């Protein structure tokens, strides 16, 4: 896990940019779906570059397979099956299965959190 370490502020900027890109993708989807896919592409590049996962609220809004932006009721279907969220991509037919659990643990358990605190204060 020591690969691609980035300062906290950089990661925060990356997350903010990803949020902005997905927001735009969401807004423009109705009129310009191809632009939405471009925004997703850019956001995923940021994610890779900064070694930072896509914000959770957006991670189910694009297809992991074809990278299309997904808009429930338009080009994807979301179903709750057992304790999984199944997202069916209408673009390529890929089904993503996301375990449906609410855990707050991992937020606090980030390993560099303790190290970062010293720098913050």
In the complex, the residues that contact Zn ion under the rule CB under 5 A are 63, 65-66, 89, 91-92, 94
In the complex, least distance from residue 92 CB atom to Zn ion, rounded to whole angstroms: 3
Residue closer to Zn ion (CB basis): 18 or 63: 63
Residue with tokens 């902005």: 20
Residue closer to Zn ion (CB basis): 92 or 110: 92
- Rounded to whole angstroms, the Cα distance separating 104 from 109 reads 9
Residue 103 vs residues 49, 58, 83, 99, 106: alpha-carbon distances, Å = 27, 17, 14, 11, 7
Residue closer to Zn ion (CB basis): 50 or 69: 69
In the complex, least distance from residue 6 CB atom to Zn ion, rounded to whole angstroms: 29
In the complex, least distance from residue 46 CB atom to Zn ion, rounded to whole angstroms: 20
Q: What is the distance in angstroms between the CA of the first residue and the CA of the last residue of the chain?
A: 25
């Amino acid at each position: 896990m020591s690969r691609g370490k980035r300062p906290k502020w950089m990661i925060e900027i990356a997350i903010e940019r990803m949020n902005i890109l997905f927001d735009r993708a969401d807004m423009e989807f109705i009129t310009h779906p191809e632009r939405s896919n471009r925004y997703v592409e850019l956001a995923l590049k940021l994610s890779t570059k900064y070694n930072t996962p896509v914000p959770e609220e957006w991670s189910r809004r694009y297809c992991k397979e074809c990278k299309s932006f997904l808009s429930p009721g338009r080009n994807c279907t979301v179903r709750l099956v057992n304790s999984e969220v199944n997202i069916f991509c209408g673009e390529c037919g890929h089904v993503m299965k996301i375990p449906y659990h609410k855990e707050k643990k991992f937020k606090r358990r980030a390993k560099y959190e303790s190290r970062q605190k010293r720098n913050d204060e």
